[in-house]
Structure 1
């Protein structure tokens, strides 16, 4: 049984691994990727002779998918957790503590953002429960429209946008409530009488469990383990130019014919490949926009007096070019033991790619200068790496859940075709692992049920 997995990122590799585990030697699996390497937007390089992640560095630790996968692959000893330090927010030319008891930066009361927003905004938040809330169950809107109307635009710029920018490389104006904040949408649907009440109802219960996890030697360890444990042929540096139904399966141009296919590709590529097969799914996938970003990893002297925080998030409207700083040597105990200090500086938000036009040298200089501004330190850079991610993150705009439902409904009649990827049910690695596992199970169930 020949199966093509188109896309060699984490979604494609997990799908191939799961298919191999389910079907065993009866499956001949081929993973195809247009890049010259596997891993997609997960990439581990080296700085100062040590591994450093140049894409995502962490995952939500309270979800089980990644820890379970690490145990399956025999690399559970790679799992590490952060030191428990909190980030800062850079706003108004200085740092502020990250507000507590918020939902993606949306405060549950005015006290949480004291010192970050002005007195007028604090009053607006405090009195919000007294104003009628107009919310229709099942409705969706962008996060900005909801939060700015109830809590003021300053709350969005200084508390919400910094967090959304880190997760989606987007902003409250480009992200929808229902897809990005499903617990908040559910609370509103249940009849919450105010945004304050909805946020309080949507907050997760207190827990001592680590919020995030990471891999000691970077995501490259996971990519290698998946590749090694999957008896699949890999085809790199090859873009799939077409997907056509043929007797007995699918023609994957220019590779060959297969009995089944998993599309673990970005939304625009998925749309292009499905246009003649499932036009409704193609239209829905084509409506998902992507955001580009860049990351600069800075190696600094060990004795650099970085703040005792996990990072610094930048509010909207600040004159800095960077959007966030991860003080990796502070955030992760295993990195603090190294002989040098490590800081990751992120650039790029949806709708504003101007800074991404800078050369690598200009990006490194901007990262160094902005880090000096937010820390108040002279930065003695030892070395640096630039990684660009064009179209790296899907934007979960208003209506996103409906678009995903349209894709899945349009493909429901295909037993030999499935989709996976970060544009479906979450941009994080755990969500990608879950979607890829579901896609593999769909194909495996159909293949094992098919008559010999």
Structure 2
């Protein structure tokens, strides 16, 4: 089989990773560890996707994701592998609140994503009527869930709408910016889905989950940040990729993919790059466009994935102006149930939550609000000044904060979070089944296995490992070498 004339023999297989978010970077890092040659292509001028730092009043802060789940190992392990282990830092406080029914109320303990094991834990957040409704749950007949069910619909059926509207919705909204009444329980809260499939009492099932967690005696922080911001992780991974010989090209949009006799042609706006394998680490709409010719069925499935948009409003105040605001207390921030009709959906008190922020700006108090959920994109069309003003109004009503900020920054994440409606995992399985029919091409990212940083990295590792296995299989399958064949390059 004749090699394409513009393919360069390098002594190893060549994989192109398309997409320079944390999933694409993690895939490139993993592939290089297997001895493959890697080129990463990013359409924009920067790496990191939704992980990004920026400047507020002269202080570097996160303007995207600010923490990563530490109970899963992938993100923490990657940070350590690229030299950031000594900069890992847990939150200084995890004491949060819910702004509901006109007051900031302590975040209840003893729940699984807002679903309680003991109704007493929700006192104050729910009305007496809401608590009484939960207490009836053990007398209800089991609720059938089938292959999947919406979190909100199931929990409302078992415990009443109030627990969904005032607790489950804001907690899930903080992760997915979605609607609990259409969000897949199987995809978003698999522990609860397994309990639901068993039938019986949901309250008892949540207590079993909590007992199992206690029996595992998990220690250490639930979340970790990084001194300097989570947004420094992508560049650290990129540096490690370059140090291992990987090539990273930014401002290089991919316009098309074509199968060839011995691999792939990747068409950019300036040239055609040949490859033996591809990892597609882009949002669903981009992956859909790129796969339209080679895998129409996968393309159609990807085109059906919906996204939520949101904005982060970062505000810096003089600390002396904030000191008298007792409602800020030592909290890390608060969540806001959509049912209460506020504009902001959450606020994080960064100076309280992250010691590195407090140390970097001892004279400032930095906080941020988030605006926008699935189906509520109208807010995002407001001017920056309007988003700042509405954030300040909601903050004043929630906490009594009357100070004026010394600096502000509005960051819009348009199409930032893929939605996981009922049946999402079945859609993902169909996408992967179709993509697997293509030689040495895999997909990864927030669309598939979770929107959190560890889940994105795990998705990247899966894709990279499968590509490496595919290419290794080709080497084994073609042991007899002649000049110009794929196996000559160690592919």
TM over 0.5: yes
Q: 2:388 aligns with which of 364, 373, 394?
A: 364
| TM-score, length-scaled by structure 2 | 0.88
Deviation, structure 1 residue 34: 1.9
Question: Who is 1:106 aligned against?
Answer: 115
| Unpaired stretches in structure 1, ≥5 consecutive residues | none
Per-residue Cα deviation, 1:265-309 (whole angstroms, up to 9, x for no partner):
111211222223223322322222110000011111123133221
Q: 1:146 aligns with which of 140, 148, 154?
A: 154
Instruction: Answer yes or no: is the 8 Å Cα contact 2:93–2:352 preserved in 1.
Output: no
The answer to whether structure 1 residue 15 and structure 2 residue 32 are counterparts is no
Separation in 1, partners of 2:134, 2:386: 40
The answer to whether structure 1 residue 237 and structure 2 residue 251 are counterparts is yes
**Does the residue aligned with 2:334 lie in a helix, a strand or coil?**
strand
Q: 1:222 aligns with which of 233, 237, 240?
A: 233
Q: 2:297 aligns with which of 274, 280, 286?
A: 280
Instruction: Answer yes or no: is the 8 Å Cα contact 1:415–1:442 preserved in 2.
Output: no
Question: Who is 1:89 aligned against?
Answer: 98
Instruction: Answer yes or no: is the 8 Å Cα contact 1:85–1:308 preserved in 2.
Output: no
Q: Aligned ranges for residues 371-382 of structure 1 at < 5 Å? A: 371-382=395-406
Deviation, structure 1 residue 233: 2.5
Q: 2:318 aligns with which of 279, 289, 301?
A: 301
The answer to whether structure 1 residue 32 and structure 2 residue 49 are counterparts is no
Separation in 1, partners of 2:290, 2:401: 50
Question: Who is 1:429 aligned against?
Answer: 453
Separation in 2, partners of 1:247, 1:362: 55
Deviation, structure 1 residue 71: 1.9
Separation in 1, partners of 2:80, 2:219: 22
Question: Who is 2:202 aligned against?
Answer: 195
| TM-score, length-scaled by structure 1 | 0.95
Separation in 2, partners of 1:106, 1:283: 35
The answer to whether structure 1 residue 406 and structure 2 residue 430 are counterparts is yes
**Does the residue aligned with 1:448 lie in a helix, a strand or coil?**
helix
**Does the residue aligned with 1:424 lie in a helix, a strand or coil?**
helix
Deviation, structure 1 residue 431: 0.6
Instruction: Answer yes or no: is the 8 Å Cα contact 1:292–1:348 preserved in 2.
Output: yes
Deviation, structure 1 residue 148: 1.5
Query: Aligned residues, how many?
Result: 447
Q: 2:178 aligns with which of 170, 173, 193?
A: 170
The answer to whether structure 1 residue 211 and structure 2 residue 261 are counterparts is no
| Unpaired stretches in structure 2, ≥5 consecutive residues | 1-12, 476-486
Separation in 2, partners of 1:229, 1:176: 36
Aligned Cα root-mean-square deviation (Å): 1.6
Per-residue Cα deviation, 1:27-80 (whole angstroms, up to 9, x for no partner):
1x2211221111111111122222211110001111111221122112201100
Q: 1:62 aligns with which of 58, 71, 76?
A: 71
Q: 1:271 aligns with which of 277, 285, 288?
A: 288
Instruction: Answer yes or no: is the 8 Å Cα contact 1:368–1:381 preserved in 2.
Output: no
Separation in 2, partners of 1:200, 1:279: 45
Shift in alpha-carbon separation, 1:377–1:220, aligned structure 2, 3 A: closer
